[in-house]
Amino acid sequence: MLRIQKMVTKSFLAAVSCVLLLAPVNTSAAEPMTKYEREAGQALHVELLGRYTSGAEIGEGGTEIVVYDSLTHRAFSVNGAAKALEIIDLSVLKMGEQEIPRIKQITLADLGVSASDVTSVAIHPDGEFIAVAAPAENKVDVGHVVFMTTDGDYLSHVSVGSLPDMLTFTSDGTKVLVANEGEPNGDYSVNPEGTVSIIDVSAGVESLTDQAVSQVHFTDDSIEAGVRKVHPDSTYSQDLEPEYIVVDDQNQYAYVALQENNAIAKLDLENKKFVTVKSLGYKDFSVGENKLDASNDDDEINITNWPVLSMYQPDGMASYTVNGQSYILSANEGDAQDYDEFSEEARVADLVDSYDLNADLFEGYSQEELDQLIAEGLFNDEKLGRLNSTTSAPMNQEGKYEAIYGFGARSFSIWDANTLKLTYDSGADFEEITKEVYKENYFNTNNDENSFDSRSDDKGPEPETVTVGQVQGGDYAFIGLERTGGIMIYNISNPNSPSFNHYFSSRVFNEDEAVTAANGDVAPEGLTFIPAEKSPTGQNILLAAHEISGTIAAYQIGIEVAAPVEEDPTEEEEKPEENPENPVDETPNPNVEKPEEVPSDEELPDQDENDVLSPLENDQDEDKIENEQTENSTEEISANQTNDSSTVNGEKLPDTATMNSTFLLLGSVFVVIGIFLFKRKNRVEQ
């Protein structure tokens, strides 16, 4: 009798526990999202939980960089429009609220610090305080780093280099590293040195002075041959412009992106000197999967191989470790020096007389093939004529460019941290995927207008930012596309063979030419991954700060399920039915067992087809954005998926956050079975 009762009770409680644990935080209203996966049912669950709206005008930089404090469940966002730091409350997400509120706005003027902008924010690993980068009113002058409490109260500030553009803490919390970009002024009459500042915060920051700041300069002996110098009259120390910094797990080395210079510098943190500055070389778009759409003047999507060597030029970077080996991820946006008195940008068609293309520089063409391409109009606007290229490129002895040199690789890459050699590049994935999603409606659109093919001639979708996180036991990269919008997810558990997992976007396209507040989240500038154990909801959250729309979107990523505490069934049977000294603990275990192996297709419950939205078809209303929670079913997108030799256990966990009704049904079945068995037992005993 007791065993039957226990079985009924535990069946019921287990069913309820499954529903409660696996259900998402319910939102109060449906939110429009576009999603794409190559193989239905294999992508991670993605759900828009809520949004913070800064109130800044479109394109004014209302939200750019965002970081998170797990102690208070607050986020800190840079508002360039207001020259301010904003504190926002993410704890409301656990209650299902979609509108994320602002707690406080702190302008640098309030703190008595003169600045032209607020460019970056970072939080101490233990949540003790935050640091904010503040360029001077005249950007070529010395900038500052301001330290505040997590309540926004001023603690101290120190001087750093010219134009501090990004900062980060080492993981032990003892140092703040600042990338001082050192851009020239508009007429190029002043070009300050690019540097990295190392701020010692090991003794706290309440009484910090400039004595705690070490300025690290570039020296010629650390710069390898082939590193690009953009302005011929500048020294290397003036020309190198630090953009972004990541630190290895041991806090031994920092890696500094030099975007305009197409290089990465390796910084020895103990000795406070650069070990090397290494060129990243060129991506050869003439071969294999290295393809691009190079023209905005051909009225079509034409992703193909071209005789173009393009610089990687990473903006955002991230680092992670696999089997003790450190790797650097780069979002290969591309960028040029473009000032009133000096600009390296030029259209290919404007440089026709300066080209003498040499097949030795291209893997994909013979000289005869190159000459034939030229004879067939290679430099016309509908082919390569419109492509933006650089004049700061190698020339032969006759003063000719032997290749067409472009900006940005339109991809993300993984680099071996020891050698800074390329381990992986995503090829033409970003353009191929967004082609499938947007087709002839909004492929290669811009971030300030709802257009078609307007960025093909100029760095395409522009991968801007990248971060990494562990989801359901695997390593994943999240890459934000500045122009097209949206975020790419890749499984990077095997750094030599990453695989595309998911593309999603909460940008809304419509017939209006200019982007407005009605277009949702536009132009991701900064990403922050919050692991489930530190999240206010108990699930992984990705924060995406969007520069153009001035919004921060909070997405749930994946479904994390806690491991169970197993009971010994033999002990339960051996316990007496009635024993006040050894009462039976019938408290249910709220955890659900996480499968050790990826379940087979037969074991998986049916996926909710509304979780994958189809791209706009030619016969559909171009302006209609499908809602992931709508009752109307959508057509699943499928294509040949790339081989993934790094499949992670748990990756195929079903999308349970859209299947509450399924689990409720299962729970009801458990209850019915339990009642049936209980009544049957009673009849037998009677």
Give alpha helix (H) positions in 429-515.
Answer: 429-442
Residue 352 is which amino acid?
V
pLDDT at 582: 35
pLDDT at residue 534 is higher than 90: yes
Q: Per-residue DSSP letters for 9-26?
A: HHHHHHHHHHHHHHS---
pLDDT at 677: 53
What would the pLDDT profile of 149-207 be if each residue is shown by its tens digit?
999 999 999 999 999 999 999 999 999 999 999 999 999 999 999 999 999 999 999 99
Which tokens go with 39?
């193989």
pLDDT at residue 250 is higher than 70: yes
Please return the burial class of 14, using the count of CB atoms within 10 Å of its CB with bins 0-12, 13-18 and 19+.
middle
Mean pLDDT value across residues 611-631: 37
Residue 458 is which amino acid?
D
Q: Please say whether the beta carbons of 555 and 537 come within 8 A.
A: no
Nearest to 348 by CA among 317, 323, 383: 383
CB atoms under 10 Å from CB of 386, counted, come to 19
What would the pLDDT profile of 393-446 be if each residue is shown by its tens digit?
999 999 999 999 999 999 999 999 999 999 999 999 999 999 999 999 999 999
pLDDT at 580: 38
Q: Please say whether the beta carbons of 100 and 93 come within 8 A.
A: yes
In the structure, what pLDDT confidence band is assigned to residue 561 with cuts at 50, 70 and 90? confident
pLDDT at 505: 98
In the structure, what pLDDT confidence band is assigned to residue 31 with cuts at 50, 70 and 90? low
Mean pLDDT value across residues 313-342: 97
Mean pLDDT value across residues 36-43: 90
Cα(315)–Cα(628) distance, integer angstroms: 31
Q: Please say whether the beta carbons of 383 and 295 come within 8 A.
A: yes
Nearest to 389 by CA among 355, 429, 417, 428: 355
In the structure, what pLDDT confidence band is assigned to residue 672 with cuts at 50, 70 and 90? low
Relative to beta strand 66-69, strand 273-279 is unpaired
CB atoms under 10 Å from CB of 108, counted, come to 22
In the structure, what pLDDT confidence band is assigned to residue 40 with cuts at 50, 70 and 90? confident
pLDDT at 562: 65
In the structure, what pLDDT confidence band is assigned to residue 320 with cuts at 50, 70 and 90? very high
pLDDT at residue 12 is higher than 70: no
Nearest to 622 by CA among 489, 450, 504: 450
Bridge partner list, 76: 67, 87
What would the pLDDT profile of 338-384 be if each residue is shown by its tens digit?
999 999 999 999 999 999 999 999 999 999 999 999 999 999 999 99
pLDDT at residue 643 is higher than 70: no
What would the pLDDT profile of 67-79 be if each residue is shown by its tens digit?
999 999 999 999 9
Enter the pTM of the model.
Answer: 0.82
Q: How many residues does the chain have?
A: 686
What would the pLDDT profile of 225-245 be if each residue is shown by its tens digit?
999 999 999 999 999 999 999
pLDDT averaged over every residue in the chain:
84
Mean pLDDT value across residues 312-316: 98
What would the pLDDT profile of 479-497 be if each residue is shown by its tens digit?
999 999 999 999 999 999 9
pLDDT at 595: 36
